[in-house]
A and B are shown apart, each in its own frame.
Chain A
């Protein structure tokens, strides 16, 4: 099985080949590049599954190789020695799991695109499929990157691809603006990430994720030494660099306050939204935290910040999702909220819980987006939920799969989302009993469960239940197998994926059924769940309310209760034949929420009211003081040389006299110094 690892580079190279083919020959191909994309992602999926098999069958349980060294230097870091910049592959259980998720979602999105894009007679399809191919390539390469620099490069490439795809309909007014916004906002975060990468490289002299020469191991050693790094305590410095990298994560994973790009990114095709939200762009941020979790585990401060930002974002985004009318907007805010949960889970040390939710979310969010795409096909590209209704009977496949996704999203037992979300909240709770800050984050996460249940079922009821509220809803456009197949595949996964880690059941019954837990415990030494558990023991105290079993029951019961009450409220309000908007009842709060808490406004103000005048002042300073100095120096020089050039009379006698004078002076000086005139 070990030999399979030799084919690992091909996982990412298949979509790259599809990108090249779609770009070069796309217009001539029968489906404008869809076929190579589907074949390539299917190949990637097959190889990813083979990687899982190889990880299971292999002796070491992971695979690490350096493919290419493109710069090596002797520059010494604060701790390590020479730095090498390499491209390498690290496939451990985490990466293998993520490879499967990404390639699966990419494959299904490609298939779905056959109907969503091709059948609609879109123009520019080769560009679309080329973008999808490049997007998948960058994400897969990011997933199996073995060092932070390579990860950063593909992280950036992912951002570029999202720009290209969100702006796919570049002839509209909003799409290019949304693409620009996504690009700039994530770039703002990536700027910190870049500084973090440089800081880590300069500090530890290595950027490897795993192994003895990883920066995680180096940081751990530095903290144990108790030395100073760049004038800070080792632990403080690890926190600082960790938070810098976190800047990139917050931008990509759309956490507060850099979440504003994500709802606008709905301007792209729905398939692209599915890919971005479920598997690629947004997942990249959380995956990065999981990838370098050992590093964050060294810094309680960074972990607490991750947890708090996550909990806050979960609640914050969920409240905004409540009042949206556009089906895709609701999903966008739910994405932000769900990634907040993952951050919360990782931040409280629930490594398995966070990764588990990442996986489940990938399935059910891809399902929901593709379901929304199906609804949009049904509705002839109408996205306003108030114009839908009654689709339940006309499109049963779409309805039931969408419902499965919604139940998973809302966290209703026994759908997959419940298990992972409950595990996150349980992990937060046991830490929260000892740490007030985490308790606050937990409370926000718990409250968000209610809103999640509410907006999810508001969406379901408005879309599928009641009576049709428009002509198109009366007579929906039919959907084909290319839509139904991905929906069914993902629907099944959304229902059963929770089996991977039935932690509460295991804790209550003592059965050994925490498969994901065991899976993530394997892999590279020091970069697996077992090692993180040791590291975290020093970070967080955990406590139980009563016994472990009662705590499990309390956590699960609370979140289920809130989920059901949210869903129930939605059922009460909107599961009627003629639902009406209830937003007016919110009063003044409504306007605040509908304006997304004025996040865009204050960020625009920051750009226009603060940065622009500052840049103008800097420009003026540059134009006057700095240029003035430079010009002053040059005019002094000009004036001086204009005077001094008059020495040049052009009369040869004068030159001779000058030379002789100089020579006499030289001889006298040398003579006096050398004692020639004794």
Chain B
């Protein structure tokens, strides 16, 4: 069951690109949040894969931390989406465009 490292990396990149694809094509803020989660987890796969590759546990522990941070991020993100909805009656990210020049 010795899978070469390249495949882990490719998997993580594929996940990352899927998340990115979601961000680039979707307009719903909730979908954005999910896409970001996918990208975070793509990074996690990399961390864990390379921990195994080097026989070192640091990457594994970091993956745990990243999960915790992702949870925090989701909490904030949901809060932002709530406020967004309250202000604009919509969760379409293309609607609020006032934070530019």
Binding site for B on A (CB under 8 A): 645, 648-653, 656-657, 660
Contacts and interface: CB of A to CB of B under 8 A. Distances in A.
B20 A653 contact: no
Contacts of B74: none
A119 to B, nearest CB: 79
B98 A650 contact: yes
17 contacts: A645-B100, A648-B101, A649-B97, A649-B100, A650-B96, A650-B97, A650-B98, A650-B99, A651-B93, A651-B94, A651-B97, A653-B23, A653-B93, A653-B94, A656-B20, A657-B24, A660-B20
Interface in B53-83: none
Sorted nearest first, the 4 A-B pairs with minimum C-beta distance are A650-B97, A650-B100, A648-B100, A651-B94
Nearest to B27: A653
Contacts of B23: 653, 656
Contacts of A648: 100-101
A641 to B, nearest CB: 9
Nearest to B97: A650
A651 to B, nearest CB: 5
A653 B31 CA distance: 12
A660 B24 CA distance: 10
Given A657-B24, A660-B24, A652 B93 contact: yes
Contacts of B96: 650
Interface residues of B, number: 13
A646 to B, nearest CB: 9
Nearest to A656: B23
Nearest to A651: B94
A640 to B, nearest CB: 14
A656 B97 contact: no
Contacts of A652: 32, 93-94
B7 to A, nearest CB: 19
A652 B80 CA distance: 14
Contacts of A651: 93-94, 97
Given A653-B27, A653-B93, A645 B20 contact: no
Nearest to A646: B101
Contacts of A653: 23-24, 27, 93-94
Contacts, number: 28
B24 A656 contact: yes
Given A645-B100, A650-B99, A651-B97, 15 more contacts: A645-B101, A648-B100, A649-B97, A650-B96, A650-B98, A650-B100, A651-B93, A651-B94, A652-B32, A652-B93, A653-B23, A653-B24, A653-B27, A653-B94, A656-B24
B100 to A, nearest CB: 4
Interface of B is mostly: loop
Contacts of B24: 653, 656-657, 660
A660 B35 CA distance: 15
Nearest to B98: A650
Contacts of B100: 645, 648-650
B16 to A, nearest CB: 11
Interface string B10-40: 0000000000100110010000100000000
A653 B28 CA distance: 11
A599 B76 CA distance: 86
Contacts of B20: 656, 660
A373 to B, nearest CB: 77
Nearest to A660: B20
B22 to A, nearest CB: 10
A652 B101 CA distance: 14
Nearest to B29: A652
A645 B101 CA distance: 7
Nearest to A642: B101
A652 to B, nearest CB: 5
A670 B97 CA distance: 34
Contacts of A649: 97, 100
Nearest to A645: B101
A656 B96 CA distance: 15
A315 B84 CA distance: 96
Nearest to A653: B24
B9 to A, nearest CB: 14
A169 B29 CA distance: 84
A653 B21 CA distance: 10
A345 B97 CA distance: 88
A417 to B, nearest CB: 84
Contacts of A645: 100-101
A256 to B, nearest CB: 68
A651 B92 CA distance: 10
A419 to B, nearest CB: 88
Contacts of A650: 96-100
B95 to A, nearest CB: 9
A158 B46 CA distance: 82
A651 B93 CA distance: 7
A651 B97 CA distance: 6
Contacts of B101: 645, 648
A645 B99 CA distance: 13
A653 B93 CA distance: 8
A497 to B, nearest CB: 85
Nearest to B25: A653
A505 to B, nearest CB: 95
A111 to B, nearest CB: 79
A649 B99 CA distance: 9
B72 to A, nearest CB: 20
B25 to A, nearest CB: 8
A650 B99 CA distance: 6
A38 B43 CA distance: 92
A650 B27 CA distance: 13
Nearest to B26: A653
A646 B100 CA distance: 9
A72 to B, nearest CB: 53
A652 B94 CA distance: 7
